[in-house]
Structure 1
């Protein structure tokens, strides 16, 4: 009787720990503090938490994000831009991590101006740089779009200066310029909330320095598939649309908004999609 009781208790404990994989396990998600990465990472974090995982979201610079996944200091990231933007990181580390694949398609990088601007091509800046005070307003210097912007300035022979900053300082400068109906050129990418907020246009890039469409990709550390097969399965299915991301990003920019609340709202409204990720 005692042996039977003990066996019963052990079986109960085993089933009480279901899903066993999630019990007591932490998932570390690396991301860059760009508005699209914040939106996507927060959604994934909440989905994994629903499955019983403890999730730690780790904000890093782009190079450090790739390095963290490659060294195993992070388990995954859903913020890897390819084939051009972060190609240097991928080429250096591709044998030390796993590229699961795209979670957003139809992405893009380049330079944008307000829709009212008479600037239509990057080439226009060769003779009209004074209209933007000889500046292209950028983000953090380690970003792929900044490195490509430096290449564009050289390739087109532009008399402009690339100004370092952050996503926040770039969008603040854009907001101020639009309020005053002034010309401005900013480094940008799609998806980004500012395309949902403002009327903007990309400058044509006849030399294709910024490439064609990009994808935002999911990375995983080596061994994650074996260590956490459920997490790996969710990562493979995790996908968002540009429209959804830009709507969430725009909402996150509202005064008092919290990315966690925006993500929870999106999950509730898209439960069928989320259920498809976790099945």
Structure 2
């Protein structure tokens, strides 16, 4: 009889051990889930930031990426055309961006998707678009000078303005507002990309040749070359935009700490141009962003306030 009791006791202890192990596993799984989704208000850890090929936007996006990773997020950057950026926000493949130029440059995209988006914060104030020439083109100071073909500038440039990617807001404005507004019927807006445009501009300046490009501030070329944005007396480019951080309207609930960070993230044009110039000189985008963060601990502290 005692043997029977002893066997039953051993069996009971074994079963109790199995129950405790199972409970421990469940608790571990629960703790892991909490770590992945709700640790310190982080929420969903995997975030995708969208950007286009404007060097100013990619520079700021990499700064945001590195700081979000310090907070505890896993951040991926997708670089696409501007239109695809906004489509990504709408379909959920992109969570947020820090390069929305509003109210003018990205107006068509914002109007299409704004019901499902939220402006979070102003990243940079009063950025400017314009047709731009080297300062040594002393007689060309206004878009009207292009329209008047002053000093045969049209023939000298084969009636071509060097642009950037076709989906960029500045290209749409130049094509649909600026060129018709000034009667630039003979002129052709040549599509390329931000880097290609900068390369063509640099090549022309090396030879002191005339050139007209679509440019914007902030941009590293203003640090490196003596340039001037042509006057726009008719106001066809509109008032200067502000750059905003924008996300899907459920982003605050999905990743609250990331939302809080973006609410605090802003950067001056001169600072963005500092990063851009390092990139233009050959530094990797992420390395240039990290260098800027390391060189400006006061800004880092400001951006990460409350995340200690």
Task: State whether structure 2 residue 302 is matched by structure 1 residue 276.
Answer: yes
Say if 1:23 and 1:53, in contact at 8 Å, map to a contact too: no
Task: State whether structure 2 residue 160 is matched by structure 1 residue 148.
Answer: no
Distance 1:102 1:23, change over 3 A: closer
Say if 1:23 and 1:52, in contact at 8 Å, map to a contact too: no
Say if 1:72 and 1:222, in contact at 8 Å, map to a contact too: no
TM-score by length of 1: 0.91
Consecutive unaligned residues in structure 2, runs of 5 or more: 1-16
1:161-181 C-alpha deviation (Å, 9 max, x unpaired) = 110111111111101111111
Matches within 5 A, 1:57-206: 57-117=77-137, 118-126=139-147, 127-128=149-150, 129-150=154-175, 151-158=177-184, 159-206=186-233
**Matches of 1:85 and 1:171, distance apart in 2:** 20
CA RMSD of aligned residues (A): 2.2
1:38-95 C-alpha deviation (Å, 9 max, x unpaired) = 1001000000111111101011110110111122211100111111111011111110
Q: CA deviation at 1:198?
A: 0.6
Consecutive unaligned residues in structure 1, runs of 5 or more: none
1:210 paired residue among 237, 250, 254: 237
Q: CA deviation at 1:274?
A: 2.1
Name the residue aligned to 2:74. 54
How many residue pairs were aligned?
A: 273
**Matches of 1:184 and 1:227, distance apart in 2:** 47
Task: State whether structure 2 residue 247 is matched by structure 1 residue 220.
Answer: yes
Matches within 5 A, 1:236-275: 236-255=263-282, 257-275=283-301
Name the larger-Rg structure. 2
Q: CA deviation at 1:14?
A: 5.3
**Matches of 2:144 and 2:44, distance apart in 1:** 56
TM-score by length of 2: 0.83
SS across alignment from 2:180: helix
Q: CA deviation at 1:28?
A: 0.7
Q: CA deviation at 1:20?
A: 4.3
Higher helix share: 2
Distance 1:162 1:51, change over 3 A: same
